[in-house]
Amino acid sequence: MLTKIQTSTAGRVALGVILSALSAGLLILAFPPLNLWFLAWFSFVPYLLAQYRFMPPKLASVASAVFNGLWLWGYLGPVFGGTGSFMEYLPLIVAGISLLTDSGSRRFHARTGFQWFVPQNLVSWVGIEMIRIFLPIAGTWGFVAYTLHSQPWLIQPASIFGIFGVSALVILVNYTLGLGAIRLLDRWWLLESDMPTPTLRVTRRWLIVAGVTAALWVGLSLVLYFVPVGTTVRVAAIQPDASPIISANTGREEIVAQLHARMVEQTREAAVQGARIIVWPEGALQYDPQVQDPLGLVALARETGAYLVIGYVVDVTEDIFRNEATVISPSGEFLGVFGKDHPVVFGGETSPTRGTYPVYETPMGVLGTIICYDLDFTDTARKLARQGAQIIAVPSNDWPGIASKHYTHVVFRAVENRAAMIKSDGGYDSAVVDPHGRVLALAISPEGGEATLVADVPVGSGKTIATRLGDWFGWLCLVGMAFFIFGEKALVRRSAA
């Protein structure tokens, strides 16, 4: 059987596809909803063996296409399946791009003796993630770092390096293990007689680098994890049984009225439990509460003595609407308006009032707001934190396919900026997260369901290196990616000299 696979192109391709699919499966399992996070550390290894050994040289990029296409399909399929949007075909598009752009990777590493195998792949992966945050249809969705959202003790250096640093650590470990696996395989089974084996010196060097880096990372993370934060404030996220905005858009006005009445009751219940900041979902109202107030929200704020964060939408034209959030103080004063910073363009959304980032002084700390899709980008929460925000309210309106995934983004925005986060969703996933990324309260209802989350959350500092310097590590990796793209021939000549 081994001899047949060694000499058969079809056999090698089949084995390469199987190994690539195995890697994709392992990575999918590392993400929510299963959250088998430990798999993320070695999930790439079978695919790397496929690309750099089992696949015939001219077909090496097939392994990359299979791996990237399948894991994105497994990750995004439940999110966009059945929507009829072009996002359903994104995994296939990425697979095609991988097939074309990764065709020379195996040849490059063979000609340079695998000296650049780990750093080139690291900066390329993280550099591509950096490019993705500039794409309105992508943001940080699917970042490999999100596999670690349930391990706050391990992700604290995100407050220095951002989410890109966490991704880099995962990639560093995977490609180092992959390098070692390639060397071990060559000693047992040399598939290509003219394919150079990674030297012991190169392999050992990267094993040491990865081991030391991981140890320093864990040590730093634990130190940061136990640094105390500010005093606590009791907050609440109001999640209705169904989305008010979707119910309104489908003409179910009676349902909307029932949801609103119940949300008022939930607010009172949260206030009785001591909540001082209470957040409603995105688009909870279909009018501007500063203009009309049929629910008596101003009186409700006075009655409860709480700061109410209210999401609402207002039609501007037939195709354009304002998607905003306002804050009502316990005295009944409207403190300001935030316009959604990142509209969901692939859903036809616009946001004409975006571009301002107000924060509000409260006795509990400085409060700011972002809205839903703003969570999926690193910049909006950071802009608020730079203005002093210590608590960030996040009205959102998700759908069943992302109920088990979207709250993970809250974890990283909290750690990056050392800010407490309160996500209130219109029926599917709400969460309260502390400045260290610990999930203090969580409600996930893929079928939709009511929840009133009340939790005591520490007030963050809103001050980190990542807040000040932004996505500096991502930019650094992007520069490294460009270096390898444009310097490939020079590196090959240097290795041949």
What is the identity of the amino acid at 178? G
| Alpha-carbon gap, residue 486 to 41, rounded angstroms | 30
Flag whether pLDDT at 193 surpasses 70: no
What is the identity of the amino acid at 193? S
Least confident range from 15-19, 228-232, 331-335, 408-412: namely 228-232
Torsion on CA atoms 35, 41, 45, 46, rounded to nearest 10: -20
Which pLDDT score, from 0 to 100, does residue 106 have?
A: 92
Mean pLDDT of 422-433: 97
What is the identity of the amino acid at 362? T
Which pLDDT score, from 0 to 100, does residue 264 have?
A: 98
Mean pLDDT of 150-178: 98
Which pLDDT score, from 0 to 100, does residue 82 have?
A: 64
Least confident range from 18-27, 324-333, 343-352: namely 343-352
Flag whether pLDDT at 84 surpasses 70: no
Q: Which residues contact 349 (CB under 8 A, 6 or more apart)?
A: 323, 340, 343
Listed in order, the ranges of the chain carrying CATH 3.60.110.10 are 232-460
Mean pLDDT of 72-95: 81
Flag whether pLDDT at 3 surpasses 90: no
Flag whether pLDDT at 497 surpasses 90: no
Whether the full predicted model's pTM is greater than 0.75, yes or no, is yes
Which pLDDT score, from 0 to 100, does residue 496 have?
A: 79
Q: Which residues contact 145 (CB under 8 A, 6 or more apart)?
A: 155, 158, 163, 164, 166, 167, 170, 412
Mean pLDDT of 147-162: 98
Q: What is the mean pLDDT of the chain?
A: 93
* Each residue's pLDDT tens digit, 295-334: 999 999 999 999 999 999 998 887 788 999 999 999 999 9
| Alpha-carbon gap, residue 214 to 170, rounded angstroms | 9
CATH code of the domain made up of 232-460: 3.60.110.10
Least confident range from 45-59, 309-323, 324-338, 379-393: namely 309-323
Which pLDDT score, from 0 to 100, does residue 344 have?
A: 87
| Alpha-carbon gap, residue 414 to 358, rounded angstroms | 18
Flag whether pLDDT at 51 surpasses 70: yes
Mean pLDDT of 88-105: 89
The dihedral built from the CA positions of residue 434, 376, 370 and 452, taken in this order, carries a sign that is negative
DSSP state, residue 369:
E
Q: Checking DSSP bridges between strand 321-328 and strand 429-433, what pairing results, if any? A: unpaired
| Alpha-carbon gap, residue 357 to 460, rounded angstroms | 18
Which pLDDT score, from 0 to 100, does residue 406 have?
A: 94
Instruction: Find, among 71, 65, 73, 67, the residue nearest to 90 by Cα.
Output: 73
Mean pLDDT of 131-137: 90
Which pLDDT score, from 0 to 100, does residue 457 have?
A: 98
Q: Using pLDDT thresholds of 50, 70 and 90, give the confidence band for residue 85.
A: low
Flag whether pLDDT at 4 surpasses 50: no
Which pLDDT score, from 0 to 100, does residue 86 have?
A: 67
Flag whether pLDDT at 6 surpasses 60: no
Which pLDDT score, from 0 to 100, does residue 361 have?
A: 97
